[in-house]
Amino acid sequence: MSSGPSPQPTLIIGGGISGLAAAHYLGKRGEPSILIDPCSRLGGVIQTNTVSSCVLEAGPDSFLSAKPEAMELIRDLGLADEVIGSNDHQRATWIWRDGRMVPLPDGLMMMVPTRIVPTVRSSLLSWGTKFRMGMELLRGPKPGQPDRSVGEFIEDHYGAEAVTYLAEPLLSGVYGGDPYKLSVQSVLPRFVEMEAKFGSLTKGTLAGMAAVPKREGGTLFRTLKRGLGSLVEALEKASAPHCRVIREQAIALTRDADGYAVRLENETLHSRNVIVAAPAWAASSLVTSLDPQLAAALGRIDYSSSMTIGVIYDREDVPTRFKAFGFLVPKPEREHLLACTFIDQKFNDRVPEDKLLLRCFLGGAGGEGMLSLSEAELERAVLRDLDRLLGLKAKPVAFHVSRWPRSMAQYNVGHAKLLDEIDGRRRAYPGLELAGNGYRGIGIPDCIRSGKEAAELNRGR
């Protein structure tokens, strides 16, 4: 029996988690690939550093446990023993309001109140908003609504104050986005389903909680003991026998007689199968001459820029223990910081006893200018904010800046329609797949799923 010609390597453009996942799942089937990325380190925005003996994540620090794709991949790579969960028993999030930190009320599920007493007692929201939240329970089902912004949607259910002090700060930590631009259908599809079926988000959330039995021992977030960089290392190692890495930028993707040509600086690669796992704006520029309409549609997916700054103190200089996962600063109260995580509270194994690590988030929609500040300017700005918000006057022992320009996809109103348009055009190019955070989820599990699906779709060509 003839074994036939060995398959042509699939060309994967972009070596973030989406491209690495695609290479992994191709390799698992014994299929070769070539991964193209100009960066000296693979992993895209996933990067772990060790600074002053702390494990400091430069990009993402964890993934949602509820989505299975990350754990599936971690098990595949033999890293399951290294998984740690968030310390949910000490989970609290503070919101800065009117000159003080106010905890999010207990029972608040992604801006939906599910418990009356803590919501009524909380000083985060005015009586007018609490009254609206109560009345929201009386809403009837509303199926078939057009896409709206998250801001309009939440304002309709709970009023404008709930957008300012809940939706905007909560979403800016995930998307760095403007709630009046983000699409509720693409960002919070469960809310749209609840509105259609129950009318009230509170009713829908309570029904969902009753239907799903409480998970024993599960935590909201998971990560790896040595940081998410160890996932990238393991992926590189596992894929190595099947995947060659070329550290160059892909410049253009065009058709050739047999499939596609990918032009790099010094060579052109050919294959029948290409997975573009670079951000949508980069994908847009790559396909400009292949299909200008596809390029235009990809270019309409906005990205925001963000920055994380690790600020490390000697514990003896900061006697206060901050008993929360962190805090969020709503837009009207914001000077520089969008949010900050107290890493020693959120995870074990990250920060030695004699240190305190604060991970600060800056940038986001409207805050892009922060990325162009010098390190000294940033240090002045961040330390002033930490003094204002936490009363922290100590001098840090380390200040570590990571800039992520155009890194977070914004699923703006009409995103689902835009994806239909992109899929419609892309279907004209068999063997060409798109993966990455620009399309159907920006979290790590979503990106892994996108890479895996792209690898599946490449099957057998």
Ligand X SMILES: Cc1cc2nc3c(=O)[nH]c(=O)nc-3n(C[C@H](O)[C@H](O)[C@H](O)COP(=O)(O)OP(=O)(O)OC[C@H]3O[C@@H](n4cnc5c(N)ncnc54)[C@H](O)[C@@H]3O)c2cc1C
Residues engaged in binding ligand X (CB under 6 A): 13-19, 36-39, 44-46, 59-63, 249-250, 277-279, 282, 306, 308, 404, 407-408, 436-437, 442-444, 447
Judge whether 302 and 410 are in contact, CB under 8 Å: yes
Q: Which residues contact 226 (CB under 8 A, 6 or more apart)?
A: 48, 55, 82
Of 204 and 441, which has the nearer Cβ to ligand X? 441
In angstroms, give the least distance from the CB of 436 to ligand X: 4
In angstroms, give the least distance from the CB of 154 to ligand X: 22
Sheet with 326-328: strands ordered across: 100-103, 93-97, 326-328, 339-342, 355-363, 302-314, 398-410
In angstroms, give the least distance from the CB of 400 to ligand X: 13
Of 72 and 156, which has the nearer Cβ to ligand X? 72
Q: Other C-beta atoms within 10 Å of 120: how many? A: 15
In angstroms, give the least distance from the CB of 379 to ligand X: 19
In angstroms, give the least distance from the CB of 363 to ligand X: 8
Of 162 and 269, which has the nearer Cβ to ligand X? 269
Query: Tokens 């996932």 correspond to what residue?
Result: 231
Of 122 and 288, which has the nearer Cβ to ligand X? 288
In angstroms, give the least distance from the CB of 64 to ligand X: 6
Of 202 and 305, which has the nearer Cβ to ligand X? 305
In angstroms, give the least distance from the CB of 109 to ligand X: 18
- The per-residue b/e assignment along 382-414, b for 16 or more CB within 10 angstroms, e otherwise, is bbebbebbbebebebeebbbbbbebbbbbbbbe
Euclidean distance between CA atoms 229 and 382, whole angstroms: 26
Of 125 and 378, which has the nearer Cβ to ligand X? 378
Of 157 and 346, which has the nearer Cβ to ligand X? 346
Looking at this protein, which amino acid is placed at residue 329?
A: V
Euclidean distance between CA atoms 157 and 152, whole angstroms: 9
Of 345 and 407, which has the nearer Cβ to ligand X? 407
Dmax (CA) for the chain in angstroms is 78
Residue nearest to ligand X (CB): 44
In angstroms, give the least distance from the CB of 296 to ligand X: 18
Of 159 and 279, which has the nearer Cβ to ligand X? 279
Query: Tokens 């057009």 correspond to what residue?
Result: 146
Of 278 and 419, which has the nearer Cβ to ligand X? 278
Torsion sign across C-alpha atoms 177, 179, 185, 190: positive
Q: Which residues contact 228 (CB under 8 A, 6 or more apart)?
A: 46, 48, 57, 59, 60, 61, 62, 63, 444
What DSSP designation does 167 have?
A: I
Of 318 and 324, which has the nearer Cβ to ligand X? 324
Judge whether 251 and 263 are in contact, CB under 8 Å: yes
Helix, strand, or coil (residue 143): coil
Say how many residues make up the chain: 461
In angstroms, give the least distance from the CB of 78 to ligand X: 21
In angstroms, give the least distance from the CB of 348 to ligand X: 17
Of 199 and 279, which has the nearer Cβ to ligand X? 279
Judge whether 129 and 159 are in contact, CB under 8 Å: yes
In angstroms, give the least distance from the CB of 439 to ligand X: 9
Q: Show the tokens assigned to 75.
A: 């098990």
What DSSP designation does 115 have?
A: -
DSSP string, 285-349: HHTTTT-HHHHHHHHTSEEEEEEEEEEEEEGGG------SSEEE--GGG-SS-SEEEEHHHH-SS
Type and span of the H or E element at 34: strand 33-36
In angstroms, give the least distance from the CB of 220 to ligand X: 11
